[in-house]
Amino acid sequence: MQHLDLQTILFIIITIIISLAVHEFMHAFIGFKLGDRTAHDEGRLTLNPLAHIDPVMTVLLPIGTLLLFGAPILAAKPVPFNPYNLKYDEFGAAMIAAAGPLSNLALAVVGALALNAVGFGNEVARNFLQIFTELNVALFVFNLIPIPPLDGSRVLYAFSPEPLRRILQDIEPYGFFIIIALVLAGGLGGFITNLNNMVLNLLP
């Protein structure tokens, strides 16, 4: 990603707002389609980003990590659902979880296609589309890490034996701190970078 001049920071903020709104909307939409109205009734079945913003996790955390590490780490307010209302039990919950990262992958594909279509003379548009594509790939990869409360852990839970499910349940209250600690220690950096590059190379 480019160096952090004012234009780049603006493009990152715009991308985060769009991408998180779509990500959280898709969680709520799939939950609604699977029979649960919880997110709908709490006003989360919307593309309005204000409905999904948490002041600390969505605003302060990404600003801090962007300035410290050159990459934003963030989370929106979790989209609520009642598992007892869902079709397909834990597999329904896994479908809700997977919908968020898959929406970011879809946005990355759209961004890559638009980037290919934009002429080389339009540098501003190309810079924005490159940031849009790369950040959505990063959101896709990061959210599929199987550590609670990330979406990948919900998908893993649906297909796990009972002992692993208990482990996931036990670490969930500390999951985000574990993720931050791993990022700070460099334990996820190379792995995530390699996955990001792999996905980016597969885009059109």
The set of catalytic residues is 24
Q: Please, is 120 exposed, middle or buried when counting C-beta atoms within 10 Å of its C-beta (0-12, 13-18, 19+)?
A: exposed
Pick from 17, 22, 21, 42: nearest CA to 32: 42
The b/e string for 65-100 (b: 16+ C-beta within 10 A; e otherwise) is bbeeeebbbbbbbebebeeeebeeebebbbbbbbbb
Q: Which residue has the tokens 């692993």?
A: 164
Euclidean distance between CA atoms 158 and 150, whole angstroms: 14
Q: How many other CB atoms sit within 10 Å of the CB of residue 20?
A: 22
Contact 35, 29 (CB under 8 A): no
**Tokens standing for 169?**
């349940």
Going 186 to 187 to 192 to 198, the CA torsion angle's sign is positive
Residues in the chain: 204
The b/e string for 29-51 (b: 16+ C-beta within 10 A; e otherwise) is bbbbebebebbeeeebbbeebeb
